Amino acid sequence: MRKLIDVEDNKRMRPAKGKTGESMKHESAAKQVAGTAVYVDDMPELPNTLHVAVGGSQYAHAFIKSMDLSAVEKAPGVVKVITVKDVPGHTDIGPVFPGDPVLVESECEYIGQPIFAIAAETHEQAKAAVGLAQIQYKELEPTLTVDKAMKDQFFVRPTHSHQRGDADKALSESEHVISADFYVKGQEHFYLEGQISTVVPTEDGGMDVFTSSQHPTEVQKLVAEVLDISINKVNVEVRRMGGGFGGKETQAAPLACIASLLAHHTKRPVKYRMSRGDDMIMTGKRHAFQNDYKVGFNEQGLIQGAVINVAGQCGNSPDLSDAIVDRAMFHSDNAYYLNNATITGYRCKTHTVSATAYRGFGGPQGVITAELMMDDIARHLGEDPLTIRKRNLYGVKHDSMRLEDGSIDPRNETHYGQTVEQEVLPELISQLEESSEYWKRREEIKQFNANSAFLKKGLALTPVKFGISFTVQFLNQAGALVHVYTDGSIQVNHGGTEMGQGLYVKVAQVVANEFQVDLDTIQVTATRTDKVSNTSPTAASSGSDLNGMAARDACLRIKAGMIKYAAELNGTSEDKIRFESNHVVAVKADGEEVWTPFAEFTQNAYTARVPLFSSGHYQTPKIHYDRNTGKGRPFYYFANGASVSEVIVDTLTGEYKVTRVDILQDVGASLNPAIDIGQIEGAYIQGMGWLTTEDLVWSDNGRLLSNGPATYKIPAVGDTPIDFRVKLMEQLPNKEETIYRSKAVGEPPFMLGISAWSALRDAVSSMAEYKFSPPMNAPATPECVLNAVNETRKHIANS
């Protein structure tokens, strides 16, 4: 068998393979295809492992009058039953603000809210025992809709606003003023691997936690708090997740806490694996939003002022809703200069499971409002929507926007005061407009629709400008730990988690690039809180930005010692040492180059007592935000993209198909083009699913009815556009000093799916010769599209 690093390889003098900028496969791809990749449920169970089931509320809003669990305790296989009275430490595990009891004490606020937990010898025994509980409730009136919450001013957090200029005055002076409201439902994460956690008690009263979580440090902290022990006694490990999409940022912690409580009481290993049905009922989803706008504009469609309200359905607790609704507010402009604007965000409380993080983190719900507005302005003026979009882009200059001093408004300041410094979208859209043959296809579609009585085609090009950074400033930091071993192999650990997005391979490529060695000599190990502490969640599209820079910092610290040693060894200056082609190269005073294989050099450096390990740290610069004034620079930079979607709609049934998609995405200087393109493809499909097929349905009493794959439809292979073209924008490095001038790619392309929704509206609007904007909430299921068709027919009949 070939060794990882053999003698012949050490002698090679060719460029190192797998550095940043090269397309490399996902680090677990072979294992995932072969089925050998180990997830938490694949780990061998320790002897005496117990299994968990949880008993939840049967009402959306009720008080517990009495509870008899004696039959549960006597059920076959049951070892321990706990309630909130058995929690030795904190009983509230809210991630930011209180409101999330680990187990309910008296008031239940959503159907499925955990009241008691069982540890039994088998999973089946635990599930069977749950149904034996005798609980008496006093049912209370629930609040289940945004409308009722707004009417009652029932909020989980205070209302917040952004303001630029005088929007009311601008509206009163505008040539044209229109308004509309729009409701977009939430979205189930539907990760392939459900929520799960295995906890093993340690000999010193602590816990080893193996979990599927995007935020190991939060799990560590909350487990310590519920057990009333110090954080250093809890170690959390995450090797990989079978998908996360934000659903494992805060939602993984309750499982770890409940399993830890049962492990504490039984002194045995405990495994809590949610069934798919329980997962869908008991864990949070994307926020539904009820949004409205009123916009004033001139004859060219240039926005003079806008008033936008975004109301998020937050569920029963704050969770991350403050930041999520904030991001919806930040992105209510999307790519467009709103001029005078007032944006207000409401955090509505409802007696449903608490809504939580989801890819885009509120941004998509803001962006789609801006796109709705652009389409409506275009229909009002009789212009093509793309024309209106291009005129309103940030940075586009117009003579009609002259200021009092005669200068043209630069149109580059957002409603929250951040300047858009790298105006990418005008050029990006121009390239996509040409490559997708937008205008040629627009004319062909008009001809098709004119000659087709029932089938109608639609076309839409929608852009995305997405801010990159956590809007909570202190989260914008990361740590890493790098070890260089004496055979030249390198081990990397960092605070980011791998959920399939390719973070591990990207960070490995950064390390390979710094040492100029082959990628196959780098090993990235499981994320562990005892290796890198106090980590931020892997979220906000910041995984590569933060952890890549932290790993690079660690590498630079190690290299500094190696360079000093190499210079002393070869009697030359430190600036004459370089790393190249799996070698350390020293240029002597007489010009002679000494090439030492990297593995040989590391052995020599170790013998000379040179430190070959280091931690690294990174904090994002420049960002700040004053919540009191609603002004600042919450984002380090913006990632941009645009997509063109073409659809065909059957106006007799509302059925449709997305037939072609063209995407151009700005990722700066890509760390790994293959990974980035894969992320963009998946993000588009997931965004398209949110706005078309994925329909969360609740009963009138607050029970989730779409609680499995039979009733909740994520996009399948057959929904993928037959013609699907994805390209990265070339030669456009990030203006900011990110890791090798790359840009985030996780969340921004999710919003490209909005073009599919906009194209559906376009197809229906063609029935009225594009002079009517059909109302179309999301998801635009065939029923919803058919309703839009009927509204359009009514408009035609009345006009």
Helix (H, G, I), strand (E, B) or coil at 286: coil
> How would you classify the pairing of strands 527-528 and 114-120?
unpaired
Identity of the residue numbered 426: P
Residue 690, phi then psi, degrees to nearest 5: -55, -40
Number of residues assigned to the chain: 799
Euclidean distance between CA atoms 238 and 456, whole angstroms: 49
Run of H or E residues at 481: strand 477-484
CB 792 within 8 A of CB 456: no
Q: Which residues of 384-415 are buried (b: 16+ CB within 10 A; e: fewer)?
A: bbbebbbbbbbbbeeeebeeeeeeeebbebbb
Separation of alpha carbons 775 and 765, rounded Å: 10
The pair of three-digit structure tokens given for residue 481, joined into one six-digit string: 């730990």
308, 359, 357, 299: which is closest to 333 by C-alpha?
A: 308
Query: Residues 492, 524: contact at Cβ < 8 Å?
Result: yes
Question: Residue 334: left if φ>0, alpha if ψ -120 to 50, beta else—which one?
Answer: left
- Say if residue 318 is preceded by a cis peptide, omega within 30 of 0: no
Query: What is the C-alpha radius of gyration for the chain, rounded to an integer number of angstroms?
Result: 28
CA distance 623 to 636: 6
| Paired sense of beta strands 490-494 and 522-524, if any | parallel
Task: State how far the Cα of 733 lies from the Cα of 188, in Å rounded to an integer.
Answer: 35
Are residues 378 and 372 in contact, defined by beta-carbon separation less than 8 angstroms? no
String of b and e for 596-615 (b: at least 16 CB within 10 Å)?
bbbbbbbbbbeeeebebebb
Q: Are strands 50-56 and 270-273 parallel, antiparallel or unpaired?
A: parallel
- Enclosing H/E stretch for 763: helix 754-765
Helix, strand, coil: what percent of the chain each, to 5?
Answer: 35, 25, 40
Spatial distance between the Cα atoms of 473 and 634, rounded to a whole number of angstroms: 8
Return d(Cα 785, Cα 792) in angstroms, integer. 11
Q: Collect all residues with Cβ–Cβ distance below 8 Å to 789 and sequence separation of at least 6.
A: 649, 651, 654, 764, 767, 774
80, 402, 482, 572, 575 from 566: Cα distances, Å: 62, 61, 20, 8, 11
Closest of 246, 645, 636, 211 to residue 460, by C-alpha: 645
Ranges assigned E (strand) in 173-287: 176-184, 196-201, 207-211, 234-238, 270-273
The three-point CA angle 162-164-166 to 5° equals 115
CA distances, 267 to each of 199, 205, 260, 262 (Å): 10, 9, 10, 8
Find tokens 């059909």 and name the residue: 774
Residue 6, class by beta-carbon neighbours within 10 Å (0-12 exposed, 13-18 middle, 19+ buried)?
A: exposed
Q: Provide the 3-class DSSP secondary structure of residue 743.
A: coil
Catalytic positions, written as ranges = 747
Q: Within 10 Å of residue 172's Cβ, how many Cβ atoms?
A: 12
